Structure 1
């Protein structure tokens, strides 16, 4: 049902405890770190680095902790567990009932060359596993020159996978949830959709009551500063993609004096309220679809035919309407391909233009009565396993988003009033994404954040990267964030797909690698 990994992007407001922490930590911390040499020798533990006066006394035990590293079971990687306060207003002590475990992983710098410290990476979501991303891509796929000089590090943010994961529904319940009609045609279908959202929220409360009030982006950013100290780094070097840009910008706003080299790729705009963000993203997916449609029309066997993008979009809408009335077989009798799953499958493929051939093939098959291809795309998006279980991505996604900002809509009537603006933003996806924005309306925990600009006054230069036809994080968000940040510098990629670094642009990669390795930020306004 949720047809975007960033269904509700969020801003944040700093709570009283956060103001205290930020106010006391604007100076870089002292201390040294036991480090791996360029030959790859690995320390068994890393000592916390935080000047005693830099943090409140109640948090010093967390900042002073040592990470004990162990084998992950994945060649080349080590894992550890960090303690953080469950509630920063009532932190307790590490290991007590008032603390929470944060899973961490690293791959030490390979050398040659002088080690530059740790490079923390986050793949976005919210809800994406940083450890999974590190082990599958960043720790082995980042440029060799970067991996030579940095320990590559990531963590599963609180509420995600290995770090007290938020759980909401069983596998069969999620199967039913993802099939609920997301474009209700009448009051009865609206009631079914509302009931589905309420059941989802109630499941989260029942299964995750302890952690649910404490998974905001501000909480995760504070955890990241404890991680920085535990790694022994005076300043944080960081690459965040998608939602990871909001996490990184929040960190910079809380701890501007501890900003090292920050790259925010596929930027979110924390100053815009949920309704505007959802509508912006709806337009972003329409832009991405039209790029796909133009490319598809050039292919010899485009399932949507040839002609201008409006005509192609109309054919896809007609196909969706047919699926709404009569789903097609998918190979799974319990999950025929209806409109909701088909829409999710299409959107999943719009994140990366390299998936366009797969999307063409899946659409061709579905239009000929075989929905297996689009269902597979939807399953990959939802992180559904072959055995019918789901990763907790969508649960954590909702939990973080619904805490970070108030709901976009108060109820179905408000959605109805906004439908024309969403459908104008995207004739293809507008209605579905508008109704999906009800996901936080029935959330059991009141939001603690709200939309506001993040300035990070006094921080070192921060590189903000925007892609002109990004489906999930529209380019104007990058422009806005770069303008908000006191030291923001905008790097633009004129292209398709979600995010830019490591996706084939030598211009983008060279600019970011130079910044990470030499500290030289690209000139503000650089275009690739």
Structure 2
């Protein structure tokens, strides 16, 4: 059941685009300034007595119609949420916070209510990263990660505006990801320029009326409406990856309206930009090298080399072969051609986690690619590998484009393709594999400039920051820098792990205990804490 602001017409925004396609096959991680409108600034800086801003009371005071999470007969995720005791509702928010009487859109929410009501702490809001990551389905997993303290919170998931179960944006992209390598030649880069411009054009055609309103700052405004609609004076927050940037933005825009804040795998806001992974080349090379050592110990399984150096040399040969001519892998309907713009994406995705199952999957993929590079006849792919390639090259069931729409709506990107090419060439000598990936051009180069300036960190926040020293996505350096920007924060460091996002996901008891102790007591550690990777 959709909630609605009483006394106003139902004018939710609908986004034209193709109907939902098949279920997601796999998740691949990414991976002149404008003057802020006074009206937009007022929504964050001029709170009324109930915590809302002038003209927004009807949104903050709206009734949430909590009920079943099932959206239709094929909604198995919704049925699972119902079985877990989760309730769902839709929140109405203004499309444009500078025009609260104008068009609206909906934000999907979920709630797993506290069971220890006698010791209830409040509500905790979740964001899984992305940008564009949904979290409506996350409360049961987070309740489990929070152990005993989870029963003391209402755990609130939400899909940010135009994501997932919220009113969706669909750019109708023919690929599942917009983030590829520039490859090994100028011709490969020029093909990327053409592709990335076409992706931006598709988004502009599909959602021109809403693209200016898709941004982190507007998602933060939606979060504060969630807080108000829940009847909470303050709300706690757990954010992973990009969710740490979103959480930081919320604390800067809405001081005094948050309670306990956990930022896991943090981004330094000064580094947040369309080429978000630029500067992470060394961390990714270290993660790849560690994986190569792991694969070398399993040469009899994968056939990639008996030493770290031999495995890395095999990787280089695979990339070089894919640059000469695309590698054909798989047969029949699951036959794919993979070139030097795509092989690095598979490598990058596979080294984001140092757990054995993730490493084994990358070993499987490189074994297949190696055989193709050596001229072997294609063989049947595993269902998982076929699904990965199908999604990367042809897209999945869910609407496409919102992740880049958020980033492009936050920070302006350089428009000149030659600038990207110069950056790629400067980085190629030191980082031949990942430099052309992290410095490549993307759709934001062909996007309109954002309506607002990026958020600046000017207020201290007593948050708990969690980070792994070998994080190849949001580097440890970024977490340390955010910690320095927030002097009252504390940093929990996990040493020896090449892993992105830790709490409740990596199985490190020390990290999980530190987070849960903070969530239970509201008291940060007296000093920064260090945990070590557990054996096995």
TM surpasses 0.5:
yes
Q: Any residues of structure 2 matched to 1:85-100 within 5 Å, and which? A: 85-92=94-101, 98-100=103-105
Contact 2:326 2:337 in 1 (8 A): no
Q: Any residues of structure 2 matched to 1:102-501 within 5 Å, and which? A: 102-111=107-116, 114-134=119-139, 137-139=141-143, 141-170=144-173, 173-174=174-175, 182-183=182-183, 185-187=185-187, 189-272=188-271, 274=273, 277-301=276-300, 302-309=302-309, 312-324=311-323, 325-331=325-331, 332=333, 335-354=336-355, 355-369=358-372, 370=378, 376=384, 379-380=387-388, 389-392=396-399, 395-407=401-413, 409-423=414-428, 426-435=431-440, 437-443=441-447, 445-450=448-453, 453-457=456-460, 459=461, 461-494=462-495, 495-501=497-503
Which residue is equivalent to 1:38?
none
The offset of 1:340, in angstroms, is 3.5
Contact 2:184 2:340 in 1 (8 A): no
Going from structure 1 to structure 2, the CA distance change for 1:469 and 1:113 (only over 3 Å counts) comes to farther
Counterpart CA distance in 2 for 1:61 and 1:371 is: 60
Cα shift readout 1:82-102 (whole Å, capped 9, x = no counterpart): 01111111111xxxx511111
TM-score in terms of structure 2 length? 0.82
Which residue is equivalent to 1:80?
89
Which residue is equivalent to 1:22?
44
Which residue is equivalent to 1:32?
none
Contact 1:159 1:211 in 2 (8 A): no
Contact 1:130 1:155 in 2 (8 A): yes
Which of 96, 102, 106 is matched with 1:101 structurally?
Answer: 106
Counterpart CA distance in 1 for 2:239 and 2:363 is: 30
Larger helix percent: 1
Which residue is equivalent to 1:45?
none
**Structure 2 gaps, min length 5:** 1-26, 71-78, 373-377, 532-536
Counterpart CA distance in 1 for 2:202 and 2:210 is: 13
Going from structure 1 to structure 2, the CA distance change for 1:258 and 1:148 (only over 3 Å counts) comes to same
Contact 1:467 1:475 in 2 (8 A): yes
Contact 1:79 1:104 in 2 (8 A): yes
Going from structure 1 to structure 2, the CA distance change for 1:492 and 1:455 (only over 3 Å counts) comes to farther
Counterpart CA distance in 1 for 2:284 and 2:39 is: 38
The offset of 1:174, in angstroms, is 2.0
Going from structure 1 to structure 2, the CA distance change for 1:179 and 1:99 (only over 3 Å counts) comes to closer
**Structure 1 gaps, min length 5:** 26-49
The offset of 1:513, in angstroms, is 0.1
**More moved, 178-187 vs 492-501:** 178-187
Counterpart CA distance in 2 for 1:371 and 1:498 is: 33
Contact 1:515 1:521 in 2 (8 A): yes
CA RMSD of aligned residues (A): 3.0
Counterpart CA distance in 1 for 2:272 and 2:501 is: 22
The offset of 1:264, in angstroms, is 0.4
The offset of 1:230, in angstroms, is 1.0
Cα shift readout 1:359-416 (whole Å, capped 9, x = no counterpart): 112222332235876994585599679x963323x51110001111111x43331122
Which of 52, 61, 66 is matched with 1:64 structurally?
Answer: 61
Going from structure 1 to structure 2, the CA distance change for 1:491 and 1:12 (only over 3 Å counts) comes to farther
Counterpart CA distance in 2 for 1:78 and 1:273 is: 34
Contact 1:406 1:449 in 2 (8 A): no
Cα shift readout 1:231-250 (whole Å, capped 9, x = no counterpart): 12111101000000000000
Going from structure 1 to structure 2, the CA distance change for 1:329 and 1:4 (only over 3 Å counts) comes to closer
- Give the aligned length: 480
**More moved, 369-378 vs 315-324:** 369-378
Which of 509, 512, 522 is matched with 1:506 structurally?
Answer: 509
SS class of match (1:70): coil
Contact 1:249 1:456 in 2 (8 A): no
